[in-house]
Amino acid sequence: MKHLLSTADLAKPDAVQILDTAEEMSAVSLREVKKLPVLRGRTVVNLFFEDSTRTRISFEAAAKRLSADVINFAAKGSSVSKGESLKDTAQTLEAMGADAVVIRHWASGAPARLAGSGWIDATVVNAGDGTHEHPTQALLDAFTLRRTWAKLNGTASTGTDLAGMKVAIVGDILHSRVARSNLWLLRTLGAEVTMVAPPTLLPVGSREWPCTISYDLDATLAAGTDAVMMLRVQGERMNAAYFPSTQEYSSRWGFNDLRLAALDASGRDGTIIMHPGPMNRGLEISSAAADSPRSTVLDQVRNGVAVRMAALYLLLSGGTASAAPAPTAAQ
């Protein structure tokens, strides 16, 4: 595996190996071990054409904890504003020594274009492209879910999948690359997925997806779910025609205080509430839900560093994920 572009084409053994390697990396990501020297002399470029807090900073932290050099590029303030193309920008950065390019772009397909064009030789990692995919978000979500599933079942999380786990993905599915990447990866790992959304926020063709579609969050919660993944309402990608009022959205599709109270009263103590961030508090999730003991929002952020360390390590170690040696030397 040279590039990480999507979860739709990520084989199960490679996905499990990334998650297992992330378990090994988590001691380093949590600073219990200082750094690993495994990517010393390698350069990771963060090439961001869209804003980001979690993804960009955690890729930077991940690369540095593997001893790589990091170059951060934001399109804002760069020669992109003078009309420089993706090809010329990427080739310019590779000429400065990039071994891996972590790219976020507003255009769906930009990372695949960069990887398949022959413009550069560097490894390409998709850090979110348009409404298409966000594979490392799905991997860190799967890592978080796998730990939850192992705890619920009293088993070890390493080496396992999510067979039988029930996950509800709720909200603005239409614009969500997180929803798409999660669906493909969760199905690969054996979880059952229900997508819950207003009809106007479901993409054409979603009825063909390998999941249950529902418009009714309360019915989905009443049926029992092990994890509820709330999605950000992406106001910047939609016009008013798509969107119910804030109050209607919150009461019908938001994880609000009433739903939190109902879940607490249900006896389903193990059910977690997830959100990839950034959150619209009071819209798709209430503050009480976001800050409750069920919330894994900050665990997801923490796990993101370990998962991105694993992905960079396996990709830059050469060949397939399954061919890479386990990291051992710490300093």
Residue numbers in the known binding site for carbamoyl phosphate are 54-55, 104, 134, 137, 277-278
Per the CB < 8 A criterion, the answer to whether 142 and 185 are in contact is yes
Q: Lay out the site mask for ligand CP across 223-242 (x = CB under 6 A, - = otherwise).
A: --------------------
User: In 149-262, where do the E strands start and end?
Assistant: 166-170, 192-196, 212-214, 227-230
> Using CA atoms in the order 89, 94, 96, 102, what is the torsion angle rounded to 10 degrees?
80
Number of residues forming the site for ligand CP (CB under 6 A)? 9
How far is residue 222's CA from residue 263's CA, in Å, rounded to a whole number? 9
**What's at 143, amino acid-wise?**
F
Pick the binder of ligand CP from 6, 7, 17, 55 (CB under 6 A): 55
* Rounded Cα–Cα distance for residues 169 and 183 (Å): 9
* Closer Cβ to ligand CP, 53 or 246, answer by number: 53
Cβ proximity to ligand CP: between 224 and 278 the closer is 278
Minimum distance, C-beta of residue 5 to ligand CP, in the bound complex (Å): 16
Each residue 249-288 as x (binds ligand CP by CB under 6 A) or -, in order, gives: ---------------------------xxx----------
* Residue 53 binds ligand CP (CB under 6 A): yes
Helix axes 135-153, 54-65, angle to 10 degrees: 80
Q: How far is CA 298 from CA 18, 38, 171, 232, in A?
A: 20, 27, 20, 15
Q: Please enumerate, by residue number, every residue annotated as part of a binding site for L-aspartate.
A: 82, 177, 232
* Nearest residue (CB) to ligand CP, 276 versus 327: 276
CA 212 – CA 166 distance, rounded (Å): 11
Nearer to ligand CP among residue 181 and residue 188 (C-beta): 181
**Whole-number minimum distance, CB 327 to ligand CP, in Å?**
25
- Pick the stretch among 47-55, 70-78, 116-124, 165-173 that binds ligand CP (CB under 6 A): 47-55
Any contact of residue 303 with ligand CP (CB under 6 A)? no
Q: Residue 276 Cβ, how far from ligand CP at the closest point, in Å? A: 4
Residue 128 in contact with ligand CP, rule: CB under 6 A: yes
The yes or no reply on residue 54 touching ligand CP (CB under 6 A) is yes
The DSSP output letter for 323 is: G
130 touching ligand CP, by CB under 6 A = no
Tell me which of 21, 137, 188, 292 binds ligand CP, using CB under 6 A: 137
Tell me which residues in 59-88 interact with ligand CP (CB under 6 A).
none
Mapped onto helix, strand or coil, the DSSP state of residue 233 is coil
Task: Please report how close the Cβ of residue 162 comes to ligand CP at its closest, in angstroms.
Answer: 20
Closer of 23 and 141 to ligand CP (Cβ): 141
* Residue of this chain nearest to ligand CP (CB atom): 55
Considering only 9, 33, 35, 52, the residue that binds ligand CP (CB under 6 A) is 52
Instruction: Taking the CA atoms of 196, 200, 205 and 208 in sequence, report the sign of the dihedral they define.
Output: positive
- Residue 133 — φ and ψ, nearest 5°? -150, 160
Question: Per-residue b/e over 258-297, b at no fewer than 16 CB within 10 Å?
Answer: ebbeebeeeeeeebbbbbbbebbeebbbbeebbebebbbb
> Residue 113 interacts with ligand CP (CB under 6 A)?
no
Structure tokens, 83? 């009309």
Q: Which residue has the tokens 């010329």?
A: 88
Q: Which amino acid is at 308?
A: R
Min dist CB 52 to ligand CP, Å, is 3
* Sites of contact with ligand CP (CB under 6 A): 52-55, 128, 137, 276-278
